[in-house]
Amino acid sequence: MKFDTPAGRNPIDNLNVVGKPVDRIEGPLKVTGTATYAYEQHAAAPNAAYGYVVGAGIAKGRIVSIDVTRARAAPGVLAVVTADNAGKLDKGEFYAARALAGPDIDHYHQAVALVVAETFEQARAAAQLVAVRSERSAGAYDLDAARATARAPKQGAFGPPPETSVGQFAEAFERAPVKLDATFSTPDQAHAMMEPHATIAAWDGDKLTLWTSIQQINWGVRDIAKTLGIRKENVHVVSPYIGGGFGGKGTILSDAVLAALGARHAGRPVKVTLQRTLMFNNVTHRPATIQRIRIGAARDGKIVAIGHESWSGNLAGGRPEAATAATRLLYAGRHRMTRLRLAHLDLPEGSAMRAPGEAPGMMALEIAMDEMAEKLALDPVAFRILNDTQVDPEDPRRPFSQRAFVECLRVGAERFGWRERSNVPAGRREGQWLVGMGVAAAIRGAPVTKSAARVRLDRNGVVTVETDMTDIGTGSYTIIAQTAAEMMGLPLDQVNVRLGDSHFPESSGSGGQWGAASATAGVYAACVKLREAVARKLGFDLADAQFERGQVSQGGRSVPLARAAGEGALVAEDTMEYGELDKRYAQQTFGAQFVEVAVDAATGEIRLRRMLAVCAAGRILNPKTARSQVIGGMTMGAGAALMEELVVDKRHGFFVNHDLAGYEVPVHGDIPHQDVVFLDETDPTIAPLKAKGVGELGISGVAAAIANAVYNATGVRVRDYPITLDKLIDRLPA
């Protein structure tokens, strides 16, 4: 099926199941411990041996020698894999880092060996016997020092262009009567998901099966085949449950490659999980940025010039952090400029993390907007409303498909009690606490991508959906079940959903905020075909047939849906593909984030008191799972604002705090009451369900809203994240 004209009315609009706050259908499996995650596929891969990864102890250099003699002789050891016996290895198409060092070492904790043994404890003990002699060479580990050598990156498949220009930015900025020129920084951040990167690998002749924790099944098949030099047809990837990804499990990483190599050498299934201390330096992270924002406005508050430059670093072949993405679309302004620069750093690879681009970019942009509002003596909400635009500011001929940004701000301001905010920084005090409110915009793209599904109706009237879509804790199982139930006129308990298997039809996968809209559209397409087959089999005219409560009806005739399957099953499969509506319309999700904080007047300790997100993200397929996604994003935004920072040892080139004791993330005591409001919206230009993603919108803008609230509370402006008390304590009001 091809989607190339805006959607009209269709069976989804009945909203008998879709749009309801349904509990996650896989929830009981997860809370009872019976959901099989990658490392727990014991029945599928019995008698698996254990692999333990040895990471490089230097950040840049070469391996002079590896002596594995003692490790091979250790009790229970089945194999030791190094670059010397691994065979030729390529890289996948998405990540730049190599899974196995040798002879060159590209970054700290890059894998240099895998020890495979009968038990985990034996593998771990033997790994300590691997003697690696390496030679250190000079490396680049300091983004600020590398700024001078940063260059424009190549345009890739993801992210905005390296440079954009509309009008005469430099001249207009200089002429503007009110100007801001400020520099901000965001640190390296870790995904820190609960489930580590984990894989079980098994070979059957030249065929490889991976049970792995991965967001994009199709990318994983492609990349493991390319890395190992085998045919894609010989790869089977299975990933039914994933314990968090946030972009860090987009495709295969070192755990999958090493498990496959270990299984080949051991001659039996091998399971590998990256020990938590390797999770921070071995795999990807959100890279640090340095951002310069310039805004020029007329005295009435209308922006006339806006420029955003961002510097980030990466390994050779890596991508830049696309921090300028939001600035291109969020506010009006005739004269515009964005510029990305990429420096070579010998740190672990920087790559996608929840809302890549928007999340760190808005940490700077939305503070800058607050600073401009203050210069103009305008309320921060009013200033943002004043600079709204209903067309793409870089191409005014291209309208937004939907843009309820102003409504998000107004609804949020009313609901949050914004009128109670002190207009004077440090103007509200409650005992020892300085209290302030902050606001920030939220924006994130609403892409859709090709996605397929297969649906099967059996003689009991049960519909089974199969697609290789993944559920990374986002609720994919549930919204897919709701889609099929709505289309086929069934209660939810008459739908089975099977996900995360490369033998199923290829879906969009989870990532980029495209999963919900794309995967459900693929299920919609398959169900349209199944409805056609049912109508033919039962002798109905599809145009007038009603599918409700397990019956197919037309006129005065009603037949059970199950009868169409006969004694066997009725199967349909289709793919949703897209035309060029995304070129005719700017398709985005919008929101507004409101935060209240209290700051201890003596110590600078920051406490979040209230948080509110107002979101406009098309039809909300399931308000309960969508709300969970948004509050999860808000929580991650709080971490980014107040505590998360991978600290770089700039002498030796590694992230020092590479565990969950040193890398701080929010805990329950850090997070206050969170409220989420979804505006009643549908977007017929996206897909037949008229829905958009929401999982990455929830984090966009949050950190800046907190920073703005801290400023309102204290009068102290912090432009370098995270906002820790040491950056406040010497500057607090007397």
> Any idea which residues carry the catalytic annotation?
696
Other CB atoms within 10 A of residue 23 CB: 13
Contacts of 184 (CB under 8 A, 6+ apart): 290, 291, 292, 293, 363, 364, 367, 368, 719, 720, 721
Question: What's the helix, strand, coil split of the chain in %, to 5?
Answer: 30, 30, 45
Closest by CA to 590, choosing from 431, 419, 430, 384, is 384
Helix 702-714 to helix 358-375 angle (10° resolution) is 30
Tokens of 253: 């990483």
> DSSP readout, 562-575?
GGGGTTSEEEEEEE
Tell me the C-alpha distance between 217 and 238, whole Å. Answer: 8
Residue 30: enclosing H or E segment and its boundaries? Answer: helix 27-31
Contacts of 97 (CB under 8 A, 6+ apart): 91, 106, 107, 110, 283, 284, 315, 318, 348, 349
Inter-CA distances, 107 with 57, 177, 259, 312, 349, Å = 9, 48, 20, 17, 8
- In which element (H, E) is residue 144 found? helix 143-146
CA–CA separation, 676 and 620 (whole Å): 12
CA pair distance 458, 465, nearest whole angstrom: 12
Helical H runs in 271-404?
A: 358-375, 380-386
CA atoms of 283 and 96, how far apart (whole Å)? 11
Residue with token string 């999770």: 279
Separation CA 282–CA 190 (nearest Å): 11
Coil, strand or helix at 221 = helix
Determine the 3-state secondary structure of 436 from DSSP: strand
Q: Is the peptide bond before 103 cis (omega within 30 degrees of 0)?
A: yes
User: What is the rounded CA–CA span in Å between residue 27 and residue 441?
Assistant: 33
The size of the chain, in residues, is 734
Strand order in the sheet with 270-273: 77-81, 111-117, 49-55, 270-273, 198-204, 207-212, 235-238
Q: Are 679 and 411 in contact (CB under 8 A)?
A: yes
DSSP single-letter state for residue 326:
G
Comparing C-alpha atoms, which of 370, 434, 437, 438 is closest to residue 732? 434
Residue type, 370: D
